[in-house]
Amino acid sequence: MSSNHIIEEKKQGQALVTEINNNNKKKLFIESYGCQMNLNDSEIVASILSKEGYNTTQILEEADMVLVNTCSIREKAEQTVRKRLQKYNSVKKINPEMKIGVLGCMAERLKSKFLEEEKMVNMVVGPDAYRDLPNLVKTVEDGKDAVNVILSKEETYADISPVRLNSNGVTAFVSITRGCDNMCTFCVVPFTRGRERSRDPKSIIDEVKDLWENGFKEVTLLGQNVDSYLWYGGGLKKDFDKASEIARATAIDFAKLLELVALAEPKMRIRFATSNPQDMSLDVIRSMAKYDNICKYIHLPVQTGSTRMLERMNRQHTRKEYLELIDNIRNIIPDCAISQDMIAGFSGETEEDHQETLSLMEHVKYDFGFMFAYSERPGTPAAKRMEDDVPLEIKKRRLADIIALQQKHGLYRMEQFVGKTVEVLIEGNSKKSDLHWKGRNSQNAMVVFPKGNEKIGDLVNVKVNDCTSATLIGSRL
């Protein structure tokens, strides 16, 4: 997530490829929609199925098994998946042996209803049930339908080594928590991904070290709410109070985990997402400041600038508290980049509330933003108790205001780098030209510059000569 634009779900589907095991005969086509966590989950699924005789393919028509890892966050995300299912169905008509499975948040939300609603689907698997895939796949191969949408108190897939799919060989995701306990009233995630639980820090560090040994240079620690990370020997975050005294005394929180990871692999660049303002502690900011290899970038969704709306959203902090957090970040890490998520037109939002969002943005001047019109999700507290009462036209207009302002701020932030030298990790060819490299600086700004004798994975100094609102344009010193 590196430029200021609305995430268009339809663009996010990505066929993932790798050759895993040469003895594998069956072919798996797996696609992911939605968040980075889904991409990482697909890597876990590919790893589990490689042991069941499946290698991944990028060619839909030759697949024996088609899996789509789905997103429920907005209605549009679900519509995109439904369209993909139609496409798979047209291929299945030519290849009737092909099996189709739905993974992730839509699977969890709709459960076996999926099999009734979409006749082409053979298998429905929720985000905590991937370990059961060997059984489920066998059932499907035997010609029966299979469903497992049981949510778990423990599952973190800690011991499963993800197969790095579609990888650039430089950057990788490492999951550290699953689920979310926050219950923001608009959000479906607590219902589709279950209660919050943290992964054993040892397995996280082992994975990071293993990635380094395999040439990776940057990891992003992933969770719905990373600041809420808490390891006390396993189990749900909400059961922490019931743990033994010794377990509580030796618990590891996110600030500590960051420090452990930074020290374990001092040259590995470390990023994390997503931070929740109500849970982000000063200790986390201090850990970031202390270690050079922790990137100076925080994705800190706020959703709205109005305290009244924050309350309706059950965000557990006020506008004032959020701005204090921003001040603390800027005091402790003056060069830290900050990005937002915003929702335009949530239930009850007035023009005055909207103006508060714009004035908060004016104050923070975010580096990047991810902005959405409110989409009511069935089963959420907002859908149950609050009317979706802002007309679509007004939602769209407010969203356009927010996007326009973000573009202005994005450009302003990028301009601050012009004339300076930034350190860039080279990720690959620039999108527009094979003669240019692309990579990101610590603040997550995309940088492009003409190729010299560098190679992918090198960390190099680049002088910034120019910029757009999404890209820094530079040259080697």
224 binds ligand F3S (CB under 6 A): yes
Closest-CA residue to 172 (of 103, 265, 279): 265
Cβ 317 to ligand SAH shortest distance, Å: 14
Comparison of 179 and 439: residue with beta carbon closer to ligand SAH: 179
Closest-CA residue to 268 (of 174, 146, 369, 132): 174
Subset of residues 444 to 463 that bind ligand F3S, contact rule: CB under 6 A: none
Query: For ligand SAH, how many residues bind (rule: CB under 6 A)?
Result: 17
Give the dihedral sign, CA 452/168/173/11. Answer: positive
- CA–CA separation, 85 vs 404, rounded Å? 34
180 binds ligand F3S (CB under 6 A): yes
189 binds ligand SAH (CB under 6 A): yes
Subset of residues 329 to 358 that bind ligand SAH, contact rule: CB under 6 A: 341, 343
127 binds ligand F3S (CB under 6 A): no
221 binds ligand F3S (CB under 6 A): no
- CA–CA separation, 30 vs 2, rounded Å? 24
For ligand SAH, which stretch binds (CB under 6 A), given 192-200, 262-270, 360-368, 369-377?
369-377
Cβ 14 to ligand SAH shortest distance, Å: 18
Cβ 238 to ligand F3S shortest distance, Å: 14
Applying CB under 6 A, among 42, 182, 347, 357 the residue interacting with ligand F3S is: 182
Comparison of 101 and 179: residue with beta carbon closer to ligand F3S: 179
Cβ 107 to ligand F3S shortest distance, Å: 17
Applying CB under 6 A, among 7, 140, 174, 189 the residue interacting with ligand F3S is: 189
Cβ 340 to ligand F3S shortest distance, Å: 13
Partner whose footprint covers residue 343, from ligand F3S, ligand SAH, none (CB < 5 to 8 Å by kind)? ligand SAH
298 binds ligand F3S (CB under 6 A): no
The answer to whether 149 touches 114, Cβ cutoff 8 Å, is no
Comparison of 177 and 287: residue with beta carbon closer to ligand F3S: 177
- CA–CA separation, 333 vs 335, rounded Å? 6
Partner whose footprint covers residue 399, from ligand F3S, ligand SAH, none (CB < 5 to 8 Å by kind)? none
Bridge partners, 340 (sequence order): 369
Partner whose footprint covers residue 220, from ligand F3S, ligand SAH, none (CB < 5 to 8 Å by kind)? none
CA distances from 379 to 4, 141, 183, 350, 376 (A): 30, 33, 12, 24, 9
Cβ 382 to ligand SAH shortest distance, Å: 7
Query: For ligand F3S, how many residues bind (rule: CB under 6 A)?
Result: 10
- CA–CA separation, 322 vs 331, rounded Å? 14
Cβ 411 to ligand SAH shortest distance, Å: 22
SS (H, E, C) 352-404: HHHHHHHHHHHHHCCCEEEEEECCCCCCCHHHHHCCCCCCHHHHHHHHHHHHH
Cβ 7 to ligand F3S shortest distance, Å: 14
Subset of residues 54 to 73 that bind ligand SAH, contact rule: CB under 6 A: 73
Cis peptide preceding 307, ω within 30 of 0: no
105 binds ligand F3S (CB under 6 A): no
Comparison of 50 and 177: residue with beta carbon closer to ligand F3S: 177
Closest-CA residue to 375 (of 9, 33, 12): 9
225 binds ligand F3S (CB under 6 A): yes
186 binds ligand SAH (CB under 6 A): yes
273 binds ligand F3S (CB under 6 A): no
Dihedral angle over CA of 420, 426, 428, 434, nearest 10: 50
Subset of residues 218 to 237 that bind ligand SAH, contact rule: CB under 6 A: 224-225
442 binds ligand F3S (CB under 6 A): no
309 binds ligand F3S (CB under 6 A): no
Partner whose footprint covers residue 190, from ligand F3S, ligand SAH, none (CB < 5 to 8 Å by kind)? ligand F3S
Cβ 132 to ligand SAH shortest distance, Å: 25
Subset of residues 247 to 306 that bind ligand SAH, contact rule: CB under 6 A: 274, 301, 303
Residues of the shown chain interacting with ligand SAH in the complex, contacts defined by CB under 6 A? 35, 73-74, 186-187, 189, 224-225, 274, 301, 303, 341, 343, 372, 374-375, 377
Residues that bind ligand F3S (CB under 6 A): 180, 182-184, 187, 189-190, 224-225, 276
